[in-house]
Amino acid sequence: MKKMKSQKEISSLDLKFLIEELKFLVDSRIDKIYQDGRNLRIRLYARGFGEFELYASTGRFHLTSYRRVTENPTNFAMFLRKRLRNKRIKSISQRSFDRIVEIATDEYKLILELFHKGNFILTDLNYNIIMPYEIQRWSDRTIAPREKYVFPVTNSFREDFKEFKRTVYASPREIVGLLAQIGFGGKYAEEILLLSGIDKNKAAQSLAMEEAEKIFENIEKLLQREIKPKIILENEQIIDAVPFDIKMYENFEKKEMKKDGCCRRYEKTKNVGATRKINRKMG
């Protein structure tokens, strides 16, 4: 059996399925908020489920029941606490197919950008920026107080096969790299190509039209799959968590999780210097 590397960064597809499972957090109460650089933790109380911490960082987004020892809160954390503490979550959603999470209360939206050089931004309900973690100025948008929050430009390939073809045939990359780049991450890019019967190392520009159509078809099928979450194990160690069975892990040991409880993953904790597994199911 081929040894697999632990999956570290969340893909847009991971996020899509994770957000679906986090719907139980709607109406949960926000307690304290902690921030350390581009790491944000939101302590929540969900009626009927208990207390959790929602963790957001570059390439990471998950729920944990483990509470870290925390230093004094930063100014940004205190700013968020003042406005969000004791508020109830009205909705939690993914923006299009991007690695962006939007948490809404009755007065505010907290936008979590999980991509490289992303930001944490508090806005009003009309997307007027109240305070970002970091002021940023880009060619197409400015992240600063009193500016209108503008979402990054997104690729519309999911809704339009013509746009998908344009993306494929304009890319100099191998097809697996292209699919990973546009939001599927490495493992789901490989899954799509395994289902399509196409060599992952094939140049995107050299695909036949029938192959491009097959890939697009299997993307749609993947997005519609029923969630049946599993933890993937290798040598009795957790290496990944997936929303459903995928071919690349077909020979690995798996453990099923409840559909509303696969948010317990594993994380490295500084205070014990080891991997802490969080696999308690919500019942």
| CATH number, residue 213 | 1.10.8
pLDDT of amino acid 271: 34
Contact 169, 205 (CB under 8 A): yes
Predicted pLDDT at 217: 95
183/71 same-domain check = no
Do 167 and 182 touch, CB atoms closer than 8 A?
A: yes
Q: Is there a single domain that holds both residue 133 and residue 177?
A: no
What confidence score (pLDDT) does residue 65 get? 75
Say which residues have a Cβ less than 8 Å from residue 10's Cβ, sequence separation at least 6: 18, 59, 60, 61, 62, 99, 114, 185
The pLDDT assigned to 180 comes to 93
* CA separation for the pair 96, 223 (Å, rounded): 13
Residues 69 and 181 grouped into a single domain: no
Q: How many CA within 13 A on the CB side of residue 85?
A: 10
Amino acid 25: pLDDT: 94
Answer yes or no: is 248 within a domain: no
Q: Are 77 and 118 within one domain?
A: yes
- Domain contains 64: yes
- The confidence score (pLDDT) of residue 272 equals 32
SS3 169: helix
Residues of the chain with pLDDT under 50: 1, 4-6, 259-262, 264-283
H or E element at residue 216: helix 209-223
Q: What is the pLDDT of residue 194?
A: 95
Task: Give the range of the structural domain holding residue 183, as residue numbers without chain letter.
Answer: 161-223
User: Is there a single domain that holds both residue 83 and residue 130?
Assistant: yes
Angle at 222 between CA 213 and CA 25, to 5 degrees: 145
Q: Do residue 89 and residue 165 come from a single domain?
A: no
Tell me what pLDDT residue 35 has. Answer: 92
Count structural domains, the chain.
Answer: 2
